[in-house]
Structure 1
Amino acid sequence: MTGRTIVEKVKALVTPIIEGLRLELVDVEFKREGHIQYLRIFIDKPDGVSIDDCQHVSRECEVLLDVEDLIRTQYVLEVSSPGLDRPLKTVQDYQRFQGRLAKIKTFQTIQGQKKFLGYLKGVAQETSGSPLSITLLIDGEQEIQIPYELIASARLEVEF
């Protein structure tokens, strides 16, 4: 089973547990670092995640993952907050974090560039002939529309 397949199966398996605890599943990673495989589950909630939240999710998921036996190799399970620079994975993330500073990388160039830093201004819903797009305010004056399907990655940026 590939790492991508494992991630998708783990997401499907743990989502009901996490949502049942009134938390949000932000992301799942399965990767090798050195000689160790890590399964990382990132969770969040509006007022932030506590260590108790992470421990509770870890215990619940550990039992379920052992019973389902999806991962046949040894691995380390980590459950944590996505951090202040959390990734933006869904349309709802872009709506929720409107007004926040974000860094967006695209698969293709838009107006001559692939990397953008600006404030999330909104989400333009699909209309006939117009795809779903994210509006970003750059340098406090220039608005740019980034087609959602062209976003390779996006993260919140920490402001000081």
Structure 2
Amino acid sequence: MTKHEEYEQKTEKLLEPVLKENHFELYDVEYVKEGGNWFLRAYIDKEGGITVDDCELVSRTLSDLLDKKDFIPDSYILEVSSPGLGRQLKRDKHFEKSIGEEIEIKLYKPIDKKKEWVGKLVSYDTNSLTIELEDQKTMTFLRSDIAIARLTFDF
């Protein structure tokens, strides 16, 4: 397990009782370095959507818990937010909830000279995703070939 995964896992455990008490769902936790800064991000959700007040409540509580446990030696920026409309799909539970929804897939390497594909998520398993394209054809992609999978949204 990498240090990123360890920090994410420990943060998830800290968040569980806070989220349960407030009827929130943990969407994802990530510990990433961007532009020379470390970020610890927690994405939370609930039926009807997350508000700024919800994020503030979880952020304050989580910040206090992280200060007490102090398991991340690096300095980092804590962010708590909603996963958003174009939420990234990473975990099985994300794919499960998105069956029948239109998703966008970005690949590391092109297939048929295309790196981006859009279609309705038909199925998934531990190794692959299958989408239905506009022409009713299906395409299956190995999860290891997918750089990003996310919900699409129209304005």
For the aligned pair, the TM-score class normalised by the smaller chain equals: 0.7 to 0.9
Deviation at 1:3, TM superposition (A): 2.8
1:157 aligns with 2:137: no
* 1:7-156 map, 5 Å: 7-105=8-106, 115-120=116-121, 122-123=122-123, 133-147=128-142, 151-156=146-151
Number of residues of Structure 1 aligned to a counterpart in Structure 2:
154
Q: Which amino acid in 2 is paired with 1:92?
A: K
- Say if 1:142 and 1:57 are closer, same or farther in 2 by CA, change over 3 A: same
Contact map agreement 1:26 1:89 (CA 8 A) in 2: no
Structure 2, unaligned stretches of length 5 or more? Answer: none
Contact map agreement 1:123 1:132 (CA 8 A) in 2: no
Give the match's secondary structure for 1:86: coil
Aligned equivalents of 1:151, 1:34: Cα separation in 2 = 24
TM-score by length of 1: 0.76
TM-score by length of 2: 0.78
CA RMSD of aligned residues (A): 2.8
Identity %: 35
Structure 1, unaligned stretches of length 5 or more? Answer: 126-130
- Say if 1:108 and 1:19 are closer, same or farther in 2 by CA, change over 3 A: farther
Aligned equivalents of 1:132, 1:29: Cα separation in 2 = 22
- Say if 1:73 and 1:148 are closer, same or farther in 2 by CA, change over 3 A: closer
